[in-house]
Structure 1
Amino acid sequence: MMFDLPNHDALYKALLARDPAYDGRAYVCVSSTGVFCRLTCPARKPKSENCTFFASIGECIEAGYRACKRCHPLAPAAEADPAIAALLAALDERPDIRWSERHIAQMGFDLSTVRRSFKRQFGMTFLEMARQRRLREGFEVLSQGDKVIDAQHSASFDSPSAFRAAFARPLGSAPADLRKGGFLRADWITSPLGDMIAVSSASHLHLLEFVEHKALPRELSRLREFAKGDLGLGRYSPTDQVEAELTAFYSGQNPSFETPLAFHGSAFTKDVWHALCDIPAGETRTYSELARTIGRPSAIRAVARANGANQIALLVPCHRVLGADGALTGYGGGLWRKQKLIEIERQYQKGHAHDPS
């Protein structure tokens, strides 16, 4: 189960004590280092606000964290499956390879067996894991202002065209179209629930989305049009502010976000987004309740469309809207994230502000 762990304080105490009772039952993701560890890890312990705990390795990997090289949390899965062990070792030893099915087959492994094994253990295939690592390395090189060819080599792509095609999928643009700086600037944020792209101007946050969100390329394209093509890499102060506020939110310190937001939508859509922002953390609404809130009780479907068009995740909390029967409904970041966010926000309900359970 995803939420059968003790609360944050209890898990953090277990981490400090290196309690072996939690070995294999809980893992800690550390936002300041980007790695995840066993609770028995011998490394120096991180601050509580930098820690997020998950019940499985798969959740840690989906959230964008790398395995710690001191406590080796992947070791049990690797020891149980020689194919996993060999491929993970090869991925670490040969970061220069652009991994493909051909490489897996050359190592003597059955493709379908490997695919099932990685899906079962980590929730993603080996090739998806390798590709995510490469793209992130390429993005980091580009955001430092280096040339596309340097980013291409860092990300281990054979050709500029292959790199451009891969880069275009999450960002909606070829890397040559993006440069350091710009009226709007896009940067990478690591969060406990996965890597995110933030786009801000000097004064406002315009977008915050998980990198695998299917609508991200389309949303970035619209922002590029809004900026008359002046969308570059880097960050302004709103990106720094929202990154700090996300850390406080996930650590149970503060449910509020003060980062100034720029809304791009019709007057009706903006009314829906403002109404979303008025839903307190720890509470939920149905689409019909949201429609009544804005004085349009018959516009339930339009409210649902506006909810789905939100491009500032978490700060405009569309995850707090449920179906009429109280069931989870579609969420661009994935239903597992929606469920996790609702669970996280229970700590912020009145009377439980200091009980991050």
Structure 2
Amino acid sequence: MTMQLSLLPNKETMYQALVSKDSTFEGVFFAAIKTTGIFCRPTCHARKPKAENVEYFGNSKEALDHGYRPCKVCHPMEMKGTVPIWLKPLLEEIEARPSIKINDQSLRDKGLDPARVRRWFKKNHGMTFQAYLRALRINNAFGQIRQGDQVIQSAYSNGFESLSGFLESFKNSTGFSPKESKYKNIISVTRIPTLLGPMIAGATAHGICLLEFTDRRMIETQVERLRKYLKAELIPGQSPFFEKLSEELHLYFEGKLQKFTVPLEIPGTDFQQKVWQVLQDIPYGYTRSYKEQAIAINNLKAIRAVATANGDNRISILIPCHRVIGSDGSMTGYGGGVWRKQWLLNLEQKTAG
């Protein structure tokens, strides 16, 4: 689907975002500089042009079609959060063998610079490459123990050289001992690139329990609440739900999917459950006010509480809190940023029906 100019914010807003390098506009627009013939991300650190020398496009294809070249500073052809080509073979190897151990020399043998790999994981996962591998092995071991494997068997099959080292790493990562695994939970987490920036996804054995933009305000608070509700720790890992979620998100952003089918796990109070359910009942391409949402749960006096519950939603897009707006049609607050909200609504209204 080719995004039309009408899906974009006004030019004054986009220029201000370009000048201030506002990361919340990543994926919303690309800025093409008439005097240089290049196009950039909103966050590009190259020297900023005069407003009259900039035109805006909704995607890189439109910019290329108009004769602009991608900037060599900000690399606008790479979707924010996308795994770089040089790293893909390594991640595919890890995905195929989550218990694998790879040291710096192994990376060099693969033609990779350990420092470069370390920087990418630190920037994109908040941990070093070795910490990421260790977390994957712990996650894998947790699943094996839950399925009946012995602790010692799981330790050695996941590359740990000693049982004591495994026990210490396991407890440091999860907060509980391996023997307690049958009575505890882990939330597997991964990152999913989208047109509007990377999202963090979390899954339990029952379904997706977390989907948020990584720069969402108060995301730490949301994660902590989820951790307490499910009595679980978040650890990088794989889930059978992630592939389906990625596929459905891709189709959604292409304007080709209106209803998600990936299973969800949505812990919360009874009131929050009601609010989140009626959010899922708002048709694709439509919006409701907070007052209409309160009426939908048969509690007209709960308008403010409904707004709070909307803000507590931890599964963006799939539970479409972006479809709730002010009674006057205004774009009210949205954890992922108001312009993301506007973009999502514009997409749905353009492709509905």
Over residues 57-113 of structure 1, what are the superposed CA-to-partner deviations in whole Å (9 max), with x where a residue is unaligned? 8998895469999xxxxxxxxxxxxxxxxxxxxxxxx9969xxxxxxxxxxxxxxxx
Q: Distance in 1 between matches of 2:304 and 2:75?
A: 35
Over residues 232-277 of structure 1, what are the superposed CA-to-partner deviations in whole Å (9 max), with x where a residue is unaligned? 2112112221111000101121111011111121111111101000
Q: Distance in 2 between matches of 1:308 and 1:60?
A: 33
Over residues 178-201 of structure 1, what are the superposed CA-to-partner deviations in whole Å (9 max), with x where a residue is unaligned? 69x963111111111111110101
**Residue 343 (structure 1) aligned to one of 336, 341, 346:** 346
Q: How does 1:1-357 map to 2 (within 5 A)?
A: 4=5, 24=39, 25-26=56-57, 28=59, 38-39=64-65, 63-64=80-81, 134-136=122-124, 139=127, 141=129, 145-146=133-134, 177=173, 183-350=186-353
Q: Distance in 2 between matches of 1:4 and 1:286?
A: 26
C-alpha contact (below 8 Å) 1:28/1:38 kept by paired residues: no
Task: Name structure 2 gaps, 5 residues minimum.
Answer: 9-36, 40-55, 87-112, 137-171, 176-180
- Larger deviation: 250-259 or 181-190? 181-190
Q: Distance in 2 between matches of 1:199 and 1:27?
A: 29
> Who wins on radius of gyration, i.e. which is larger?
2
Q: Distance in 1 between matches of 2:189 and 2:68?
A: 34
Q: Distance in 2 between matches of 1:189 and 1:212?
A: 13
1:160 maps to none
One-letter identity of the residue aligned with 1:292: I
Give the TM-score, by structure 2 length.
Answer: 0.56
Q: How much identity, in percent, do the aligned residues show?
A: 32
Structure 2 SS opposite 1:238:
helix
C-alpha contact (below 8 Å) 2:7/2:346 kept by paired residues: no
**Shift in CA distance, 231/96, structure 1 to aligned 2, threshold 3 Å:** closer
Structure 2 SS opposite 1:312:
coil
Q: Distance in 1 between matches of 2:7 and 2:122?
A: 35
Structure 1 SS opposite 2:5:
coil
Structure 2 SS opposite 1:232:
strand
Q: What is the aligned residue count?
A: 233
CA RMSD of aligned residues (A): 4.2
C-alpha contact (below 8 Å) 2:135/2:235 kept by paired residues: no
C-alpha contact (below 8 Å) 2:121/2:127 kept by paired residues: no
Structure 2 SS opposite 1:299:
helix
Over residues 206-240 of structure 1, what are the superposed CA-to-partner deviations in whole Å (9 max), with x where a residue is unaligned? 11000011221122222333443443211211222
Q: Distance in 2 between matches of 1:60 and 1:269?
A: 40
